[in-house]
Amino acid sequence: MKINIRKVFPFILIAIVSFSSGAILILTNEDNPITKEIVTNAEKIFGIQFNEAQQDSMLGMLNDRLHSYQSIRKIDLPNSIPPAILFNPIPENFKAPKGKSSFVESDYSKTKMPKDMNELAFYSVGQIAHLIKTRQVTSVQLTKFYIDRLKKYGPELHCVITLTEDLAMKEAKEADKEIAAGKYRGILQGIPFGVKDLLNSKGYKTTWGAAPYKDQMIDEDATVIKKLKEAGAVLVAKLSMGELAMDDVWFGGLTRNPWDTTQGSSGSSAGSAAAVSAGLVPFAIGTETWGSIVSPSTRCGDTGLRPSYGRVSRHGAMALSWSMDKIGPICRDVEDCAIVFKYIYGPDGVDQTLYNFPFNYSPKINLRGMRIGYLVDDFNHKYSFRANDSLTIEEMKKLGAVLVPIKLPNLPVNDISFILDAEAGAAFDVITRNGKVDLLARQGKDNWPNIFRASRFIPAVEYVNANRVRYLLIQEMEKMFDENKIDVYLAPSDEGDNSLVTNLTGHPLVVVPNGFHNGVHPTSITFVGRLFEEGKILAIAKAYQDATGYQLKHPEMFK
């Protein structure tokens, strides 16, 4: 079958005028037909030039396409509808993980119920699970305990959008009933958790942290929530997020950092990170497109897992960038991330981007002689976390690892970062055209309203070519791992291009606390691994975490 490439990837050119209300008036070709002068002006935006004859030849096609665009806009395309073009993160000659999944957890049998129940606020998932399983505490007691903390501290941190108290108490009672009857579902049964408020939850609003959607009801559970409920976990809160997944400001204000409430908690998984850090939930679910798990986990002193692209279903989650969005847990420690990930990864029959590869985790790993890379140029820069990061490298050497200096591929990754803008512009095209972007709290040049509008001027050809460069980046990353004979490397959490590179390629990482800046603000280090090898990264990160103990430090004002 012959395919008309011009129709598949149309060159988008359209005249627009903004109303004072912020809505966009679309001019039809009858109102104001595209002329050679308009084409000449558009060429300046796109950095190309055609001669007069070429321009004249295009006019009929460009005017005809306006009809197509208007026809497309008449179709209801909610945020949940993905494009039929799926991103593939897998490099050439990729050796996929094989075999069955395996999971070995640490021994929590010595965990005892504390005399002061307030100490439970900072117990790990594994510790709490043992208390529930041995019936030293009930899920109802725990759920009420955490809901009380959410009510007490949530307003101070601006980290809660919706408490799901009625649902939580119902689920907690059911968990206790099952456990008493000898039906133990597993380590998450009866344990409260929170989710970033871009995940749909049946019976509750899903606000996306943004005023245009603050009353939005999507009456279904996201796959992640379904899987956690099937494991017996108890949803207690929908937590704040930067509006439409940017930063830490939402329609209710600025989400605060529990270590320093004069600061924001960073974003966009702002509420998830703040709530875990302050002991308001044992674990929470966050998402990342470009730094939204790593950054708030760093700011709040949490441990976060950003899984490989294609690991966790995004069904029922707000789409920002279909080819970059990822869902992962934010927890107290590395093994908690492994435990939660065990229950949320894998195909669901709906999200077509998922891969069915095994997940293997064991806390026992010998680092002696293991080759671990580190981004030598980034670590040599002068930045605020450098001293702590240098100590991390030395600690890894003490644990027996062989540190190998490496460099990221030499490709213009910042120049293709507009891939995110193009997809975000499509995801929120409706509120851009109807002017409701004006309801967003942030209206600066670097904020969503302006980005969405500017995304209209990204040519489809450039978007496709940027993704071709991205393909090269995927191949070069695989070469970097192979040629240096490493499976994991260390990267500064907030320095250099690693965050952008690995979000474009879909590689997994674990971010863990590694000290404090000026004795007050948490810092972190990032462990990055090969695609779909979360188990290895988690085990290595746990070895470092167990040796240093920074995960055991918590903000004093919330103890």
Of 372, 360, 361, 363, which is closest to residue 399 (Cα–Cα)?
372
Tell me if residue 349 falls in helix, strand or coil.
coil
Tell me if residue 103 falls in helix, strand or coil.
strand
Torsion of CA 12, 18, 24, 29, to 10 degrees: -50
8 Å CB contact between 505 and 474: yes
Which residue among the candidates 277, 292, 308, 455 is catalytic per the annotation?
292
DSSP classification of residue 115: S
Cβ–Cβ contacts within 10 Å for residue 545, how many?
A: 23
Concerning whether 18 is annotated as a catalytic residue, the answer is: no
Give the integer Cα–Cα distance in Å for 120 and 116: 8
> Strand 234-239 and strand 192-196: pairing?
parallel
Of 238, 234, 235, which is closest to residue 216 (Cα–Cα)?
238
Which residue among the candidates 139, 196, 272, 536 is catalytic per the annotation?
196
Of 341, 342, 332, 338, which is closest to residue 120 (Cα–Cα)?
332
Look up residue 462 and give its amino acid: E
Concerning whether 292 is annotated as a catalytic residue, the answer is: yes
Strand locations in 246-400 (E): 249-250, 253-254, 256-257, 260-264, 284-288, 303-306, 326-331, 360-361, 371-375
> Strand 521-529 and strand 509-517: pairing?
antiparallel
Which residue among the candidates 124, 139, 201, 268 is catalytic per the annotation?
268
Concerning whether 265 is annotated as a catalytic residue, the answer is: no
Catalytic machinery residues: 196, 268, 292
